[in-house]
Structure 1
Amino acid sequence: MAAQVHIVRHAESVHNVTKDYTQRDPSLTPLGLQQAAQLIHEFPYSSRVAVIITSPLQRAVETVLAAFPHVLDKRYYSPHSGQGIENGSLLIIDPELQERSAFPCDTGSSREVLEAAFRIDFSDLAEDWHTKEGLYSPDDDPVKERAKRVRSRVAEVMDNLNDMEKRHVVIVTHGVFMKYLVEDPEIDLPKAGWKSYTVGKNSSGIILLPV
């Protein structure tokens, strides 16, 4: 089977329900955790996933951990949880997958907060990754630029995969940013929904082609 990229939208978050966009980096709701956990049974490509790349916003990380405990390496889970597998998939935290807007709900937490919440190494995150300035500005041009950069990095990750049985990559991101990532303003996945792509190339660079 050809290598594929699966774009996953995070599951239901608190601000999706309350419409309170002033809460900083909200977590998933109980329903959101259930939606994410459903992917254990509903996502059909788990055995082929080599790498999962996620936005560092807490709702995205929580979606990953709830959706892929049978795929991810066990180092990302509590040793007493029974979750994760030996020599499981690699998890990459990519700040360029964060949501577009500068509302508090779309503004990430500090490394210290994230490291206290998860058994994940966030040391590669810059101290100012959550400031909505420069590359992380909500303005159109920088959002397009980081989407382009993510596509190029994903292609590079896939080129470096050695296991011919595991050549799929999962990307967990947000409803607005994914429109830029896949260059489709009409895409509107449900919470914890996904869509599959292959990697292609044209005169402007790396593109994602729907399967």
Structure 2
Amino acid sequence: MPPTLILVRHAEALHNATRDWFIHDPVLSELGRQQCAELKDHMITKIPSEIEVDLIIVSPMIRTLETALLSFGPFIEQGVPIRAHAGWQETTAKPCDTGTPISQLEAQFPQVDFSGVDPVFPDKTSPAGAAYKFSKQAIMARGHSCLRELYNRPEKVIVVVSHSGFLKRGISGHYYFNADYRIFDFETEGEPETYLLKQWEATKKGGLGWSLEETVQVGDELPE
């Protein structure tokens, strides 16, 4: 059976607080750290008892790494593995959405397994980094690839800490406020052509109740 997915947007980072998209790979703001504390407390006390997190996947960008460690620290301390994955990074090539070399991240975040990160990371603009280009074709293909990979994993429950643009336009069609999350199951079993997600009723406004209920079509408003 395909796993249940808990899709999380990172908490507020400096570029969210300042609207300055030229900050390279920004850290969390003070409010963002507070949001992580709220998310951590919520996850510990509110997640249904039948959900037992088996794996945490995180975009290898500083704000998502910080969010994952601050919010899911208790799970990691209990032995849940945390692995970075370039496929879940944000969509654009702006400085705020461009990552830091893995060698630096490994030193800064030793709890995280970076061994499976695509060696081309953080390149998004050269021919080698074409899979991460800011285009509809690339983002839709990346979303499909990420979902196919999760669909075929053996774990029962997987947390993914990612970004609003990619989660909304490339994965689920839903809005995500900073540090909010949604829970999904795959709609079908067997190898499908399109990996459709069905959201849990309990997270229609986000698990913390912070997100918009409206939806968009996956792939809309992306550059051709």
Matched residues in 2 for 1:110 and 1:182: separation? 25
For residues 92-123 of structure 1, give each alpha carbon's deviation from its aligned partner in whole angstroms, at most 9, with x where no partner exists.
21101000011000000001220121113323
Alignment of 1:170-181 (within 5 A): 170-181=159-170
Matching of residue 130 in structure 1 with residue 109 in structure 2: no
Contact 1:40/1:68 (CA < 8 Å) preserved in 2?
yes
Residue 66 of structure 2 aligns with which residue?
62
Residue 124 to residue 20, structure 1, CA distance change in 2 (3 Å)? same
5+ residue gaps, structure 1: 73-83, 162-166
2:85 aligns with: 94
Alignment correspondent of 2:113? 121
What is residue 77 of structure 1 aligned with on the other side?
A: none
5+ residue gaps, structure 2, are: 201-224
- After TM superposition, the score normalised by the length of structure 1 is 0.83
1:39 paired to 2:39: yes
Q: State the Cα RMSD in Å.
A: 1.9
Secondary structure in 2 aligned to 1:52? strand
Query: SS of 1:7's equivalent?
Result: strand
Distance 1:27 1:175 in 2: 16
Q: Which residue of 1 aligns with 2:183?
A: 196
Partner of 2:23: 23
Could you tell me how far apart the structure 1 residues matched to 2:82 and 2:118 are? Answer: 17
Residue 218 of structure 2 corresponds to which residue in structure 1?
A: none
| Helix, strand or coil at the partner of 1:71 | helix
Aligned residues of 1:10 and 1:174 also touching (Cα < 8 A): yes
Q: 2:168–2:176: 8 Å Cα contact kept in structure 1?
A: no
Note closer, same or farther for the CA distance 1:100–1:116 as it changes in structure 2 (3 Å cut): same
Moved over 4 A (4+): none
Q: Please say if residues 199 and 209 of structure 1, whose CA atoms lie closer than 8 Å, have aligned partners that are also in contact.
A: yes
The alignment covers a number of residue pairs equal to: 188
Give % identity: 29
Encode CA deviations 1:64-90: one digit per residue, 9 max, x unaligned: 000011101xxxxxxxxxxx23xx211
- Deviations along 1:108-154, one digit per CA (max 9) or x if unpaired, are 00012201211133233244211113100011101000100110111
